[in-house]
Amino acid sequence: MENHQTATASSAHPNPHQQAHDFRCMVENSLDLIIKVSLSGHYTYVNPAFCALYGIEANNLLGRHYSEDVVEDDRAMVDVFFNQLFTPPYAVNFTHRENTARGIRRLEWTGKGLTNAQGELIEFVGIARDVTDRLDLIDKLSQQANHDDLTGLANRRFLMKQAHLELARAKRYQYPLSLFMLDIDHFKAVNDQYGHLSGDNVLKQLSQVMQYILREHDLVGRIGGEEFAVLLPETDLEAALAIAERLRLAVQEYSFRLLHDTPIALTVSIGIASSTEVAQNFEKLWHESDMRLYQAKTLGRNQIFPVITALTPQPS
C-alpha cells in the first residue's frame, strides 16, 4: 500500500529534469519543423526535421536570419507577420514559400512569442508543416473545376460566377461592365475538312491570341465549342468596342497552324453589351451580347456589333 502511494505521489510530481528530457526528445524526433528565433529574427534553435528540409546541419543554420530562405516574392508578407509577433497576443499563423533542399516548398507556420517572468518578450518559437503537396492538390482540383481542359481558359461555370461578382461590384461602385460574346467564323468547316485535332489546335491558338490582346484583369472563358465570352470590368461600351476591334484585327492577321504546321486564316465575330446601356442584370447582359453576336454573323461575319461607326468605311 505504501509503495502504491509513493508511486502515485511520484507521478503527481514528476521530476523536472525528466520532463525537460522527455520534451526535448519529442521536439528532436518530431516530424514538424520546430525553431526558436531571437527578437532580431535569427535562429537560436532548429530541430532535426528543419535541418533535413534544408539539407544543412544545425550548426550552420544557427545565427542565420529567417528571411534568407524565404522566396523573394513572399518576404514582405513574412516580415509583416514577424512584426505582428511583437504585439499581444504575440501569435501568428501564415503560409509562405521557402527555398529548400527539396525545391520551393510551402510551409504552414504557427508562431508564438515567449516571455519572461516580467512579461517581457525574450524570443519566438515557430512550428511548421510542409503543406506543399496538399495545397498543390487543392490548386490542381480548383484548376480542373474552374477551367477548360483544352484551352486552360475559365469554363462557363466559373466565368458566370465571376460575372455575378463583378456585376455586384459594378453596381456598388457605379463602374461600367462590358461583355463580349465571340465566335470563330466557319469553324465547323475546319473540323469537317481538317479533323477535330486540327480544330483543337486552332482553339488553343485563339485562346493565346485573346490572352495576349486582352488586359490582365479581363476574364476570358470558353463557354462551348468555338464560342468564347470575355468579361471586361470597369469598361464602358466605347472602350469595349475599341478592345474588340484590336482583337478582331489580331485574329484576322494571325497565321493559325493546323496539324503538320499547315497555315490557315480565320476570323471571328463579336457581340458586345455593356451595363451602361443594358439593365444591370447579368442574364440580360448575357442575352444582349449573344443576340448581338448573332447580328454580327448576319452582317457577314468578321464583324463587331454594335458596329464601330468611326471605323466603318464611308461610301465614295
CA distance 166 to 177: 8
Condensed to tens digits (0 to 9), the pLDDT of residues 260-312 reads 888 999 999 999 999 888 767 888 999 999 999 999 999 999 999 997 654 44
For residue 126, pLDDT over 90 is answered with: yes
From the list 57, 123, 216, 226, the catalytic residue is 226
Q: Which three cell numbers stand for residue 136?
A: 498543390
* Same-domain check for residues 204 and 164: yes
* Same-domain check for residues 152 and 255: yes
* Same-domain check for residues 133 and 159: no
Amino acid letter, 3: N
Average pLDDT for residues 134-145, to the nearest whole number? 78
- Which of 137, 158, 180 terminates a domain? The answer is 137
* Same-domain check for residues 75 and 157: no
Average pLDDT for residues 136-154, to the nearest whole number? 82
- Domain range for residue 89? 31-137
pLDDT of residue 266: 96
- Which of 91, 118, 137 terminates a domain? The answer is 137
Residues in the chain, overall count:
316
Q: How far is CA 150 from the centre of its chain?
A: 19
Condensed to tens digits (0 to 9), the pLDDT of residues 273-283 reads 998 887 678 88
What pTM, to 2 d.p., does this model score?
A: 0.61
The chain-wide mean pLDDT, for the chain, equals: 88
The β-bridge relationship of strands 304-305 and 268-274 is: parallel
Confidence of residue 14 (pLDDT cuts 50, 70, 90): low
* Same-domain check for residues 262 and 294: yes
Condensed to tens digits (0 to 9), the pLDDT of residues 206-233 reads 999 999 999 989 999 999 889 999 999 9
pLDDT of residue 316: 38
226 is known as an active-site residue: yes
* Same-domain check for residues 66 and 47: yes
Query: 29 Cβ partners below 8 Å, 6+ apart?
Result: 48
pLDDT of residue 120: 92
pLDDT of residue 114: 94
Assess if residue 87 is contained within a domain.
yes
Assess if residue 1 is contained within a domain.
no
Assess if residue 304 is contained within a domain.
yes
* Same-domain check for residues 299 and 176: yes
For residue 243, pLDDT over 80 is answered with: yes
CB contact at 8 A, 183 and 251? no
Beta-carbon-side half-sphere exposure of residue 193 (alpha carbons within 13 Å) = 8
* Same-domain check for residues 196 and 104: no
CA distance 161 to 112: 39
Assess if residue 224 is contained within a domain.
yes
Start-to-end C-alpha separation, the chain: 118
CA distance 42 to 111: 14
For residue 8, pLDDT over 50 is answered with: no
Give the total number of structural domains in the chain: 2
- Which of 137, 155, 181 terminates a domain? The answer is 137
Assess if residue 24 is contained within a domain.
no
Report the interhelical angle of 196-213 vs 237-253 (nearest 10°).
130
What CATH number has the domain bearing residue 112? 3.30.450.20
Query: 285 Cβ partners below 8 Å, 6+ apart?
Result: 167, 177, 179, 273, 274, 275, 278
Condensed to tens digits (0 to 9), the pLDDT of residues 66-110 reads 999 999 999 999 999 999 999 999 999 999 999 999 999 999 999
Query: 302 Cβ partners below 8 Å, 6+ apart?
Result: 185, 248, 252, 267, 268, 269
Average pLDDT for residues 130-159, to the nearest whole number? 85
Average pLDDT for residues 11-17, to the nearest whole number? 65
CB contact at 8 A, 256 and 205? yes
